[in-house]
Structure 1
Amino acid sequence: MKRKKIFFLFLILFSTAFVSLMAGKEEISLKELPARYKKWLEEDVIYIITPKERELFLQLETDKARDIFVEAFWKQRDPSPGTPENEFKEEHYRRFSHANEYFGRETTRPGWQTERGRIYIILGPPLDIGRYEGEGFVFPAQIWSYQGNPEYGLPSHFHLIFYKRRGIGEYVLYSPGRDGPQSLLINYKGDPSDVYAAYLQLRKFDSRLAEASISLIPGESTSYGRPSLASDTLLSRVYSVPNKMVDWKYAEALLKFKDLVEVDYSVNYIGSDSLVSVIQDDSGLFFVHYSVEPEKLSVLSYEEKHRVNLELNGIVTDIDGKMIFQYEKTFPLNFNQEQIKDVEKTSIVIQDMIPLVAGDYRFSLLMKNTVSKEFTSFERNISIPERISSPSLSSLLLGYRLKKVPSQQNNNKPFRIGDSEIGCQARSVFHPHEDLIVFFQMYSLTEELRKKGIVKFTLYRNEEEYLARRKAIREFAHDNIFEKFPLQNFPPDYYSIKVSILDAKNREILSDQKGFEVTPLPDLPRPWIISKVMPASQSIVYSYILGKQFARKGKLEEAGRLLERAYNQNPLSLEYASSYAEVLFDREEYPKVKKILIPFLENPQKDFKFLPLLGASYQALEEYESAIASYKKYLSHYGTNLKILNSIGKCYYQLGNTKEALIAWEKSLEINPHQEELKRLVESLKGKQ
């Protein structure tokens, strides 16, 4: 299992500037790019930039934005970000210079454009070069030997062959499938399609070159000299190595969260693992439980005290992209010397939960470390069922620990279900000394299923059944199901578990399946889990949150019912009152809006953001003077507002005060002169004076 890294930041924080990026903006053409950026994109990094990064770069509008992108590009590839040097960048330009110096001598093109130049820039210098030049038996050829990195899909050892086709021109990359050994031989007179005969002839000259001409992967078994298909796959993987060296999601995250990521964060994206699970509580509310595990954590350290401050920004949108719910939470973390040593050995997981009304959504989360100006993010599609009227089964949640909590603790906490807390991580990796905890929920089972139904647990090892367990549904006291499987007899390997609901005739009617791994590692440290206790499900705060969500979905009846409940329980809350008043306004219940909001005209916090809503209610009731007073009071606290100025003008116009109406509208046109209808109205009124 990949171990997370803890980075210490000693009071010197790197910052830079960033520019907002416009999602969905048209790409500019290469011809429109200033020369230095065109050179950077089409020459300096042409072989190592990912398609996503290129796409984003072409959406940038200013040179400042492009400079910042270039800085972020190199920083994402820096193997030691805590030092002033960027070894990757330095090595890249060294390779680029070497390619130009040595591989462009026999061609009119610069060396970086040759095939040897491209491979050298991507993979670096080979371990060994076998040269076949001036031999008289084969065309000039070279075998480059490399040690491969399996993380990039490469074999542990492989060759690449370059040769001069028909003995002329520059060296080109050889393909066993496309070229074949006959293309290397100068005087091959046999059947051009008889690869085996060409292989045998080449073998008489040099066995190493002959073997490599059939397969670029040493030791690969081939039959009768047939070219290796795996070799051509290898060539495509070599070209894609740069795409696997960096998580291009940093660019996608910058674009997605352009309004939430401040300038100092722009080049500091870090990867993370995440887990999302939708769970219904005993009251019937659905909560989205989630966890985020950043791959590294930078800590501000001073005098053996260590501090981190994490900010979470969550956005839930519907399938049309309309925002349904948005929130922000902070997690200030402080560690002493002993604690930080323990954290270094493991990792930190932030867990949280949010309530959500029924619907299909896109859940996006941004997590920022304000100490180090780093950020990470994830996105998930989630679905909250409307009404569950037929038997259903939730997705499986796999954990490594099950902990009972006192029954009197009726508050909510992430991944707590009833009186049980399940310890879980995004990566479903387990140690043989642990138990596998399987959790799921059953919904709306029929009476027949409850009496005669069966829950079948089937564990598979490499798709073959390894263990099975059956239990009658009536054995479970609750529809929240926890099942434990000790793993001490499970050899390290990849597994999956399938949960099936069977009817009285042993027919499968519901099922879900999830994979997991039993690690061969001698130890598997579990992370520090950081979460906040949430109010109990009966808390009025959920009426407020869910009511706001219903309102944004346009379901005013449900929204009004919940927001009225929240307001009635706490009528002194301006937040509750304003939200309820917004729904009443949409329902054209203007007198109720006035009744709710007027008491807050004297609120000691001097928060008057509700005044446009109060003014609009007065205006709808044709109480224009009161509307004007509300609008003007808003402007006195918050400054010029185009919409408010236009509303003031309309109220004065309805009162017959054309002079004051024109003053308001002309001021509005000074701010935005492109209001054509308003412009025509103003000109018409002036013509009548």
Structure 2
Amino acid sequence: MRRNAILALTLVAAGLTVLAGCPVFGQEKKPKKQNQQEELQEHYRKWLAEDVYHIVSEEEKSVFQKLTTDEERDQFIEQFWKRRDPDPKTPYNEFKEEHYRRIAYANEHFTCGIPGWKTDRGMVYIKYGPPDRIDDYVYGAGYDRPAWEGGGQTKVFPTQYWEYRNIEGIGSDIELEFVDSTGSNLYTLEMDVNKKDILLHASSGGRTMAELRGEANVADRVSGRTDAGDSTNPYYKLREKDRPFAKYELLANMSKPPEIKYKDLRSIVDTRIMYNLVPFQARVDYVKISEQQVLVPVTLRILNGDISFKERSFGVSRGTVNIYGIVTTVSGNFVQEFEDDIVRDAKTDELKAIQQDYSSYQKLVLLAPGLYKLGLVVKDLESGRIGMQELRLNVPSYQPAQLNSSSMIIARQVQKITDPDSDIGQFVLGDVKIVPEFEKRFQVRDPMWVYMQVYSMGIDQNRLQPDIELEYVVERNGAEFVRFQDLAGETFKFVSGDRIVITGRLPLQRFIPGQYTLRIRVHDRISGQDMERTERFEVTS
């Protein structure tokens, strides 16, 4: 008896409600372990050996097993699911929820002495979801063999045919045959079409067309084949996918973890499995726009020697680096993303010298105060090498009555912008262009510039200006090295009702080599508030 069971399968699946992130395995609850650490270790073991058994790659499994702390394992698990999230803009991970729904369905419908997720049907269902069509045969049902099985009639063990129109990474028009030859509800995925035949070893009945005509015997179903797997029997009309090698290739592909199919750089930022890294430096600063919005300049720097250059034409070589960044909340919800390129051209005969220099990039990101995570990926276009960093963003909240400041930025040069409204390129803050210095290492002959904004000063109602004291203190080895007070506004200017901009140059000619700390102290004479920002720098001979 043959019946189409796909409707029943779909209705049952739609009726299931599973708490996301809470897989169900087995029927018995294990007693709680007294040792909390052992219980935690069991959680990680179970996650790897059960929850994601069918979808974790060997590479991911190897990395997870080498992790040494629970913090690393928790972070890996979070990134594992994020890497597979089809739409991070939504508050839910649809892939993760569907995965655990499939596990629950497999355990409910395919359990047979072993949990349903361990069975062949459970493996396929968890990886690829419900099939597009199911044909179900009960024990002893009559079966009309199609031409590619030799024709004729027989009776079969409980059998299910699953058909998928397409599985990405595997192919289209996929047919799978599951047979329960033991009567225990344990359906196994079979490549041999004869496994389901109850009458295979019977003295009569269940014969193929060629066997009925006396032109073949049962043994010829296996032995009567060419080296390529074609049957020598003219009654067998094998399709390409029925050939033995094609079937075993399909079985091997079905046994692999499903492909991760989301965008290239995005998938890299959501996993920590990377080799041949491109080293790069990254920093973030914070500049107040309003009480509700903060400008976050994200600055990257890459050594040109780590960029692969390719000669193009006219003696010019070009190196290109793709940049991808994604900002999420701490819980992983999408906030915004950006993509860009660093393109560096150089004359081929000057390339060796240029490779000792750096290429810099900056993206201005606008965020509300709060905690975020910033994922950054750089990809060298020519070599395909990739580098990744994840930064924690603690975007400050600037209260209207509290004296506060932006980040302090130390640079080698501050360039005045003549038309701030039209020049809105990289490294531009207000009316100056400033490239942050990463190492903050200067020779005594180098210029060292300091940039900082101060907010929420009191305003003198007669002069309609703030009244502040600004002091620079430089310490070496914990002791004061030099002190300078700016009471006349030589290094700062009042630019709006709630901010001043500090742009100061610190001469280093009298400094001796060593490590230093710069303290900028601000005293508001009107409100009586004080604040201080510090940065370390180094002077070499």
Into which bin does the TM-score normalised by the smaller protein fall?
A: 0.3 to 0.5
Structure with the larger strand share: 2
TM-score (norm 1): 0.37
TM-score (norm 2): 0.46
Structure with the larger helix share: 1
